[in-house]
A and B are shown apart, each in its own frame.
Chain A
């Protein structure tokens, strides 16, 4: 059985077609890199898998059922992380609030909850954050808490929306390794969106590349090629491989100006506009 199946799926956001007529399968237990330029629909697709974005046409099947809100077998680490400001709750209480958070009643942190939280924190190597107040944590530390929170309730499918944002390169590698271990040790299917494929190489089983309302899925060698990416970007793209790293470059200049700051530590070049910022 596939973890996620898309059949002729079209997604529309704010009147604009984000994905058109996509059919693909995400295999059970695979670590799938989700790539694509800004606005290509990575977040929208994940939210559609969660049942938060209505499917305009087609069907999305998640773990054998139609995609619907509240599926306990799906873990989620959102990209839009509006961290409540100046909150001095401990890391433990912050994560604990997500344990059975949908149930009515008092938010009692009992022994069972504490054990679940401790397990999740340990899994992401964040035990030392349990007692610290949220307001005194760095962005990367909060991110670990969110990753821990996504692991609560033993999900079988994990959607990680840009978990590498604002992490330094060694932390990035740690998170990738962690995601890989979740796949291999626990058999969890992981969707992992990112902006640089290089940090994922060696860990991901396959890659899904979004762009121009379309999607390509397959091995890195099959998908990250000049013809496929040219189609997805809608412009001439070159793919260069140097010493096992992949550089994606575009011919036309400065098509998009903004870039994710978090990528700037990374020496590798993945998206066209970065080629230019690099040479500049």
Chain B
């Protein structure tokens, strides 16, 4: 263990993964609770377009990512609160963004590695500068989530009542998706556009199956994401296989294990209808 920590890139990887995993886990909990995982998935893909666009424009990809995801998240939030409407809005934005991404790729001259990194992430290639950027973004998204979490939860679980009590459903939908977008942009740095589900949805869905209270659920989700990310890095170090593969494999395995777990057969389970 200490040996692998002697490498700067490994230290960066651990710090970056920790910072991002905690955000992904916490934000993911609400994403799963609200049944908006499709939005999370789509935002990540939109991020690809943003990043390729940024590369073409000669800006650091992460800012293109952040801009594209946040703009799309806000757009999705405004387009529909109604469930069916929401999925259509997400799908349309996704299709448009991917089309645009294809166009950008058409003009792409840099090496294919950059595109691969965007798609699948490479936490072992994170620079010190990126670690700082990620820390700042994480702090911002966690802070925003902490500020809105109570009304967000209210609006998610009791929408009609929340509306009657003066909570703006659309407003919180927009704010939340902006936070999701930020978190997505961060997760892309670790696991890439295609595998954001592994950090945002896997741990959160597993945590929701294991807990009955919001506070423990969010905490467990963050912890699971952190453990999966770190274990993935360690496994990648020893196996020389891609870290994103390991993180994804762990995320899926843990979710499957948790789902297979029979509800303890106690009186609570027996009384379920």
Contact = CB atoms under 8 A, between A and B. Distances in A.
B145 to A, nearest CB: 9
A82 B34 CA distance: 12
Contacts of A89: 157, 212-214, 217
A107 B149 contact: yes
Interface string B251-273: 00000000000000000110111
A74 B147 contact: no
A187 interface: no
A101 B273 contact: no
A209 interface: no
Given A97-B157, A97-B214, A136-B273, A104 B33 contact: no
A93 B165 CA distance: 19
A88 B161 contact: no
Contacts of A47: 164
A193 to B, nearest CB: 14
A98 B163 CA distance: 11
Dominant SS among interface residues on chain B: helix
Contacts of A103: 150-151
Contacts of A74: 164
A233 interface: no
Dominant SS among interface residues on chain A: loop
B215 A98 contact: no
Given A102-B167, A136-B273, A94 B209 contact: no
Contact of B150 (A78, A94, A107): A107
A88 B211 contact: yes
Interface in A7-59: 47, 50-52
A119 interface: no
A107 B147 CA distance: 10
Interface residues of B, number: 38
Contact of A133 (B33, B83, B212): B212
Contacts of B268: 131-133, 136
B215 A85 contact: no
Nearest to A141: B273
Contacts of A87: 33, 157, 208
Interface string A79-110: 01110110111101110011011111111110
B153 A101 contact: yes
B214 A107 contact: yes
Contacts of A149: 158, 161
Contacts of A107: 149-150, 153-154, 214-215
A243 interface: no
A101 B146 CA distance: 14
Contacts of A150: 161
Nearest to B270: A136
A186 interface: no
Contacts of A98: 154, 157-158, 161-162
A64 interface: no
A101 to B, nearest CB: 3
A169 B156 CA distance: 31
B269 A104 contact: no
9 contacts: A50-B164, A69-B163, A69-B166, A85-B35, A93-B212, A101-B165, A102-B154, A104-B147, A107-B215
Interface of A: 47, 50-52, 69-70, 72, 74, 76, 78, 80-82, 84-85, 87-90, 92-94, 97-98, 100-109, 131-133, 136-138, 149-150
Interface of B: 33-35, 83, 146-151, 153-167, 208-209, 211-215, 217, 268-269, 271-273
Which 7 pairs show the lowest CB-CB distances between chains A and B?
A101-B154, A70-B166, A136-B272, A78-B160, A90-B212, A107-B150, A50-B164
